Structure 1
């Protein structure tokens, strides 16, 4: 399944670089939607409009490592 994801669709690799401690609860929900939640966690996500929206909302907490 992983090979199909990498070969057929664009992907974005995202890393969480800041904690959600002392931040509004909605920002924690954004990170959960991206599959993150703990520091230095890395996820490979499909490049969809929904994911892009979450990336914009949480841009101060994450780092986009790679776009394929």
Structure 2
């Protein structure tokens, strides 16, 4: 399990004016305020959320 890849996700834009589904997706990623960062396991589910929120988040691999 030491070989698990991770992805750092940073929220770079505020949630004001976004769709409610996208706000829930940001919360599912564990991000709260702007510039908050989470290190998540790289999986298809996480990548799907990141693709949905491409305009709100920045990915650092």
Same fold, TM exceeding 0.5? Answer: yes
Q: How far does the alpha carbon of each residue in 1:11-65 deviate from its partner, in whole angstroms, 9 at most, with x for none?
A: 0001000011111111101101111121000000000110000000001000012
Runs of 5+ consecutive residues of structure 2 not aligned to the other structure: none
Structure 1 runs (4+) greater than 6 angstroms displaced: none
Aligned to 2:32: 37
Higher helix share: 1
Give the structure with higher Rg (CA): 1
CA RMSD of aligned residues (A): 1.1
Q: TM-score, normalised by structure 2?
A: 0.91
